[in-house]
Amino acid sequence: MKKIGFIYLLTSFCTICSCTPKTNREIQEVIAEVHNTVTEAIDEVAEKEIKPGDIRLDKELLYDKHTLEDTYPYKDTTRHFQWEKIKERLALLENIRRKPAQWCILQNYKNRNGEAPLVKNFKRDAYKRIADTLGVERYQGIPLFLTDDTLTAERYGLDGLLTRHLGKQGKFTKVEPIFIGGEWYAPTQYIKLIPDSVVFNRAVFVDRHNQNIATLERKEEGHWLIRSMNPATTGQHRPPYAQETPLGMFVLQEKKARMIFLKDGSAATGGFAPYASRFNNGGYIHGVPTNAPATGIIEYSYTLGTIPRSHMCVRNATSHAKFIFDWAPVNETIIFVLE
């Protein structure tokens, strides 16, 4: 602010001086000098993009049960929290916050906004469902069209992706999904606007490779606090029912104190998962499932932090799932799933 004030005074001074008798050439030289000074000062004070190396992480745990170390033993090897990758995502989040934008979420949970049309090139995947060439399924998918072709969709977007809203064009909305990149048209029925007042101060990181989960909270620009570090179990590839937890940058969309699930291949209730926070399709962060006919809460399972076992969801110790359930606000929390 001091430098801006100085620029203002300097400009005013030069303007006054230019009123004294001078040749046109002298006046032009003074104006050029002031312009260069102001331009250099503005460039100097302009906000620079935050880099991963600018991110500071401090451990101030709010949840301290089942806590893992930065690096910890697993069988005959070790696993760890990928802090450098986490810093990369946090730098992205910091830079997103700096640029004014209207944010939205791609949404089509259980095809509630309509079955997506066929894309130009599609296939049947291992689950016998239609998918684009990148493996994103039509079911619960969002059709994305090239900006010069709104007749046939090019690909599908994942439910829950954080997306920049670039304005409406007739029946379409121009969007930029952060994880996918590029500008696309999506039918407006698949778009949910996020209020302008929302800022993304809380983030959850799910690591499919190391089978762990971390929660972080923004203290100030470039400074994030680690709130928990726990084992988790992600989704496995096991057609026709279980699927991998998808990679991406998602928005926490809804919460259920008890998420009821069905038995594989049946309409019968299979049980419930406690403290479920949904971020993509049927993908939830939740506690240890209780299989019917049991009704009690299970705190922990020896399978947590081992290998993928879920049906797409991210299993946690139940008390940790409750911590996230209480701590993370809907529409304001980003869920990063990384490899």
Length reported for the chain: 339
Which residue positions in the chain have pLDDT lower than 50? 1-17, 19, 38, 41-46
- Tell how strand 122-124 and strand 130-132 pair up: antiparallel
CATH class (in words) of the domain with range 102-193:
mainly beta
pLDDT of residue 97: 85
Structure tokens at 254: 């809804």
Of the listed 104, 165, 311, 313, which one is catalytic? 313
**Residue 256 one-letter amino acid:** K
pLDDT of residue 43: 47
Question: Which ranges of the chain would DSSP assign to H, the alpha helix?
Answer: 2-17, 24-45, 83-98, 318-327
Phi, psi (deg, nearest 5) at residue 182: 80, 165
Residues 57-98+199-338: name the CATH superfamily: L,D-transpeptidase catalytic domain-like (2.40.440.10)
Of the listed 165, 286, 311, 320, which one is catalytic? 286
pLDDT of residue 100: 82
pLDDT of residue 4: 45
pLDDT of residue 24: 66
Find, among 144, 136, 139, the residue nearest to 110 by Cα.
139
DSSP letters of 241-273?
Answer: TB-PPPPEEEE--EEEEEEEEEPTTSSSEEEEE
**Residue 223 one-letter amino acid:** H
Q: Residue 238 pairs with which residues in a beta bridge?
A: 242
Active site residue 286: yes
Distance from C-alpha of 61 to C-alpha of 227, rounded to nearest angstrom: 4
Active site residue 104: no
pLDDT of residue 288: 98
